[in-house]
Amino acid sequence: MIQLNKLLSALNIPFSEGVSEIHRVVFDSRLANENTLFVAIEGVSVDGHSFLQQVADQGCQYAIIQRSVDVPGGMRCFQVPDTRKALAELACFWYDNPSKELTLVGITGTNGKTTTATLLFNLFTQLGYKTGLISTVVNKIGEEQVPATHTTPDPFALNELLRNMVDSGCAYCFMEVSSHAVHQQRIHGLEFCGGVFTNITHDHLDYHQTFAEYIKAKKGFFDSLPPTAFALTNRDDKNGEVMLQNTLADKRTYALNSMADFKGLILENELSGLVMRLNTLEVHTRLIGAFNAYNLLAVYGVGMLLKVPSLELLTAMSTLEPVEGRFQFFKSAHGVTVVVDYAHTPDALENVLKTIGVFRKATQKVITIIGCGGDRDKAKRPEMAAIAQKLSSQVLLTSDNPRSENPSEILKEMQAGVDSSSSTPVLLIEDRAQAIQTASLLAGSTDIVLIAGKGHEKYQEIMGVKYPFDDFELASQFFNKNR
């Protein structure tokens, strides 16, 4: 617990009217009681200011607000310009600013965040450091796994996680930074020693409304970096330089096709892995595809900027394994190559299919299973179907995580991108398990099947319920059955 006057001092609010002990700071009205400080957040669909009477009735006496409201009797409210920032500042103060005790690196971008953050975690673990990871898939404190609910947690969950990392002896932490997290001030107050930009493509326009606003959110992360940090950006992405425009951090770049501080060249690109030249040195890795070449370049750049000796760095990089659900593949008992990938944006899907095209022989069919998530950006649905049809021999449009939407309506919106004059057939199979089973029957020996969209996920979300569902596990069952 912390005294109220000390909490308010973190927000530069003077308060000397007695001593009140606060056991918890909350922004969920259901958790407010006589021992809490309630922070009223204006959310996308719910406004915390509307629940002040409710939290007062539950015994809460103190609240942080950002606009004038009718204050319930017996409650004291303190107004600030931005309650989201206030919540983040309180979280940092509550946990004694753990980010200042770690080497914290944030990775942002549309695609590659999870892979880059996870590779960095695995790399620095391999180098002998106890390391933390905050990602879409899982959070880790050394070997301990902590379930992930959001790409970037809320400020209190985030600072608690960082404090646990510090207390357990972690020296480094690599975390994904989502555009939502930047816009919602979840990372406000954290002290980063570096930021990485992977790329930016069509995504999350259901939230940001326009591509310009989406770029602005990503850029906001780099704008907030201190002069002591580095800002590492992908120079091959046309918005890479935009990220560096207003940052005070040390500006660094990586690229395959442009002049950059960390320059990569793909020497070999096979199913066995990539051989690359990184600046002047060569490395063989087990990762596959040009998109992973960018992820590896980012990892190399971060390692060099964190002063890891180059030979030690490249030796450790050569041991890195592919990340679960990111171009994860197996050969079936009948010779079919099955690839499971998280690709859920047009750019990611195109990259994966083009990578498959590098290895594909003229006699091999490529069968793609793809769906689009519900309650998300609808504009990309026809584009995803069009890309799949263009780069595949056959396409099965199916369900992803429909969430609160009708799966058949999502499929209709995807179908709008299908070219009826194309020679590539497109089937609509709403049931995802049935689509995977159908692909196992359609695929001939040596063909390639891509199951895209869910990757590492172990569930399918339908009408608010998460049902067990694992693409890789189901594919293993169906493709290895006796025919």
Total number of residues shown for the chain: 483
CB atoms closer than 10 angstroms to residue 151: 21
- Burial class of residue 127, CB neighbours in 10 A (0-12, 13-18, 19+): middle
Q: What pLDDT is recorded for position 483?
A: 62
Q: Which two tokens stand for residue 129?
A: 């450091």
Q: Check if 2-82 and 95-317 are the same fold.
A: no
**Do the Cβ atoms of 243 and 233 come closer than 8 Å?**
yes
Q: Helices 346-359 and 290-305: crossing angle, nearest 10°?
A: 110
Tell me the residue ranges of DSSP E strands in 321-398: 328-331, 337-341, 366-370, 394-397
The pLDDT assigned to 74 comes to 87
Rounded Cα gap, residues 357 and 337, in angstroms: 13
Q: What is the DSSP string of 430-452?
A: -SHHHHHHHHHHHPPTT-EEEEE
Is the torsion defined by CA of 187, 188, 191, 196 positive or negative? positive
Question: Residue 401 is encoded by which pair of tokens?
Answer: 């995580």
Give the number of other Cβ atoms within 10 Å of residue 337's Cβ. 21
Q: Which residue has the tokens 């059955």?
A: 481
Residue at token pair 């931005």 = 82
User: Residue 96 CA to chain centroid, in angstroms?
Assistant: 26
Asked if residues 157 and 148 have their Cβ atoms less than 8 Å apart, the reply is no
**Alpha carbons 212 and 209: distance in angstroms, whole number:** 9
- Cα three-residue angle 232-237-242, rounded to 5 degrees: 65
Q: Which of 325, 317, 25 is nearest to 157 (CA)?
A: 25
Q: CB-side exposure of 23: number of CA atoms within 13 Å?
A: 8
Could you identify the residue written with the tokens 């944006």?
345
Distances (CA, A) of 153 to 130, 140, 148: 21, 13, 8
Domains of the chain by residue range: 2-82, 95-317, 328-479
Q: Which helix (H) or strand (E) holds 370?
A: strand 366-370
pLDDT the model gives residue 94? 98
Strand 448-452 relative to strand 459-462: parallel, antiparallel, unpaired? unpaired
Q: Given its phi and psi angles, is residue 125 left (phi above 0), alpha (psi -120 to 50 degrees) or beta?
A: alpha
Q: How many CB atoms lie within 10 A of CB 362?
A: 4
Q: CA–CA separation, 65 vs 82, rounded Å? A: 8
CB atoms within 10 A of CB 308: 19
Count, in order, helices (H) and strands (E) of the chain.
15, 25
For residue 133, the surrounding DSSP H or E stretch is strand 131-134
Contacts 24+ apart (CB under 8 A), 357-363: 357/391, 358/269, 358/289, 359/270, 359/271, 359/448, 360/448, 361/446, 363/446
CATH number among 3.40.1190.10, 3.40.50.920, 3.40.50.300, 3.30.70.1400, domain 95-317: 3.40.1190.10
3-state SS assignment for residue 426: strand
CA distance 315 to 282: 10
- Closest of 260, 273, 234, 228 to residue 247, by C-alpha: 228
**Per-residue model confidence (pLDDT) at position 209:** 52
What is the pairing mode between strands 103-108 and 172-176? parallel
What string of pLDDT tens digits covers the 483 residues of the chain?
999 999 999 999 998 887 789 999 999 999 999 999 999 999 877 899 999 999 999 999 999 999 989 999 989 999 999 999 999 999 999 999 999 999 999 999 989 999 999 999 999 999 999 999 999 889 999 999 998 877 678 999 999 999 999 999 999 999 999 988 998 999 999 999 999 999 987 554 455 457 688 888 889 999 999 999 999 999 999 999 999 999 999 999 999 999 999 999 999 999 889 999 999 999 999 999 999 999 999 999 999 999 999 999 999 999 999 999 999 999 999 999 999 999 999 989 999 999 999 999 999 999 999 999 999 889 999 999 999 999 999 999 999 999 999 999 999 999 999 999 999 999 999 999 999 999 999 999 999 999 999 999 999 999 999 999 999 999 999 999 866
DSSP string covering 465-483? EEEE--HHHHHHHHHTS--
Domain 328-479 matching CATH 3.90.190.20: the answer reads yes
Q: Which CATH number fits the domain 2-82, given the four candidates 3.40.50.300, 3.40.1710.10, 3.40.1390.10, 3.40.50.150? A: 3.40.1390.10
Q: How far is CA 382 from CA 68, 70, 340, 370, 419, in A?
A: 44, 47, 21, 11, 10
Decide the pairing of beta strands 2-3 and 21-22. Answer: antiparallel
| The two three-digit tokens of residue 12, written as one number | 């530069």
Q: What pLDDT does residue 447 have? A: 97
| Residue 210 pLDDT | 78
